[in-house]
Amino acid sequence: MSRRRKVAIWLLVLGALHGVVLCAGFFAPYDPVEQDRKSPYLPPMRLHFVDMRGQFHLRPFVYVLQLRPASFDQYVEDTTRPRPLKFFTFGDRYRLLGFLPSRLHFFGAGDERIYLLGTDAFGRDQLSRLLFGGQVSLLAGLLGAGFTLLIGWCIGAAAGYYGGWRDDLLMRVAELFLALPWLYLLFAIRAFLPLTVNPLQAFFLIVAVIAAVGWARPARLVRGIVLSAKERDFVRAARGFGASHLYLLRRHILPETSSVLLTQAAILIPQYVLAEMTLSFLGLGVPEPVPSWGNLLSNLQQYSVLVSYWWMYLPALIMVPFFLGYLGLASALQERAEAYKIQRRSFGSLA
């Protein structure tokens, strides 16, 4: 398979995954903050296609859950009350992509509540919270990675191009940032910022903090590329035509950094999403009631929850397909960069 096709496929996969999260309002049946105090810690409702009489239905359905007699948190399916799934139904109001008001949902069960991934202590639908939480976590990761790469790019390019004492100074500072284990640095920065903030501020705070932590490694990589590109003959030739520094950077040197930046992006984004999850899990990130993948897991710190309600663990695994997608993308990009390098090297040796 051609390398370009590989990259395209992974991009498609990631695009689909992100797309579902982007349209969380559509795919999620309910509002993530809506509580249902009558149904705390409901286990996930199983989808059935064959009913009690052995008849196959094309439309999947679930059974309403009832409390087992003489128990306060054990549920059984009430097989006398099947509830079919309805697709493309109208339900709670939401804003698609943040601004289009809509009431159309991918699926629902009419007036009945359907919980495909169970509920939490407040009876909130975990599936909806998972989808909306993804918006927060993924956005934090994407924005954070974007800013880090921007900062690292600028600093690395400056260090590599100007060289001399500027290069030494910038790289020493980068070493400082690299000398700290990243989670400790993240904590330290977060420590020195206000603890009680509203969810929106908390979000931007996290993004800023995450972005401030990781610029050093991309900066070093970009610096290396700029340093070697600067000495390439075609760059020197352009200088010979009277090119200004800005022109050289813009037209010749910085385009060389594009492949490294893309690969770094594919590597950093999942790490940053994970960083947000870690912060929120520990209570230093996005606060309740706004869902994020991290704070969906935070009540798992109570062992009783961890043991009794297994579906609360699921958000921990939601990163796996995303990680997989980004890993595949990063590998495919690295392969392409290697191949291009080899191609260029052999181009140079032809006489």
Question: Binding to other proteins by residue 18, rule CB under 8 A?
Answer: no
Question: Binding to other proteins by residue 138, rule CB under 8 A?
Answer: no
Gap between the Cα atoms of 308 and 294, Å rounded: 20
Gap between the Cα atoms of 317 and 325, Å rounded: 14
Question: Among residues 102 and 271, whose Cβ is nearest to other proteins?
Answer: 271
At its nearest, how many Å lie between other proteins and the CB of residue 5?
20
Q: Which of 23, 96, 139, 316 binds other proteins (CB under 8 A)?
A: 316
Residues 6 or more apart in contact with residue 137 via CB below 8 angstroms = 273, 276, 277, 280, 292, 293, 294
Question: Binding to other proteins by residue 246, rule CB under 8 A?
Answer: no
Question: Binding to other proteins by residue 342, rule CB under 8 A?
Answer: no
Gap between the Cα atoms of 263 and 337, Å rounded: 9
Inter-CA distances, 4 with 1, 39, 62, Å = 8, 50, 44
Radius of gyration (C-alpha) of the chain in whole angstroms: 25
Question: Binding to other proteins by residue 85, rule CB under 8 A?
Answer: no
- The two counts, helices (H) then strands (E), for the chain are 13, 5
Question: Among residues 50 and 188, whose Cβ is nearest to other proteins?
Answer: 188
DSSP one-letter code for 302? S
Please list every residue from 256 through 275 that binds other proteins, using CB under 8 A. 274
Question: Binding to other proteins by residue 182, rule CB under 8 A?
Answer: yes
At its nearest, how many Å lie between other proteins and the CB of residue 275?
10
Question: Binding to other proteins by residue 300, rule CB under 8 A?
Answer: yes
Backbone angles phi, psi at 18, to 5 degrees: -65, -35
Q: Which of 247, 299, 334, 337 binds other proteins (CB under 8 A)?
A: 247
Binding site for other proteins (CB under 8 A): 172, 175-176, 178-185, 187-195, 232-234, 236-244, 247, 252, 255, 274, 277-278, 281-284, 297, 300-301, 303, 306-307, 310, 313, 316-317, 319-320, 323-324, 327, 344, 347-351
